[in-house]
Amino acid sequence: IANLPPARWSAPITIGPLDLPELLIQSSPGACLWLNVELRGNGTATPLIRSMTLYAPRQSSLNYLPPVFREDAVSADFLNRYLSYFDTIFDEIETLIAVFTGYL
């Protein structure tokens, strides 16, 4: 992994201390996920990753649509990526509902 050329990695993103990014991994199913993380500090504080959540395999709401939406591979791929944004929001809401009783 250390010897992979930069072209094999996705474009880097910079995440600030208050950012909570959500990223869609667009690799082929069954592919490995390699993360290259570089943490930078200001010299007085140590950088920290508190948590990282990965969902695999991704459950897509495309599976609940009629088959006609999956007939064309290119269109189905676009729709699947588009719906993934909303699927993520619904997953977060479901998680909040599931842990809600712990707050009572």
Domain ranges of the chain: 6-42+52-103
Q: Are 91 and 55 in contact (CB under 8 A)?
A: yes
Q: What type of residue sits at position 101?
A: T
Note if the pTM is more than 0.85: no
* Encoded tokens for 41: 């500090």
pLDDT in tens, 26-75: 776 667 778 888 888 888 888 888 888 877 777 889 999 999 999 999 99
Measure the CA–CA gap between 65 and 28, rounded to whole angstroms.
Answer: 21
Q: 3-7, 27-31, 97-101: which has the minimum mean pLDDT? A: 27-31
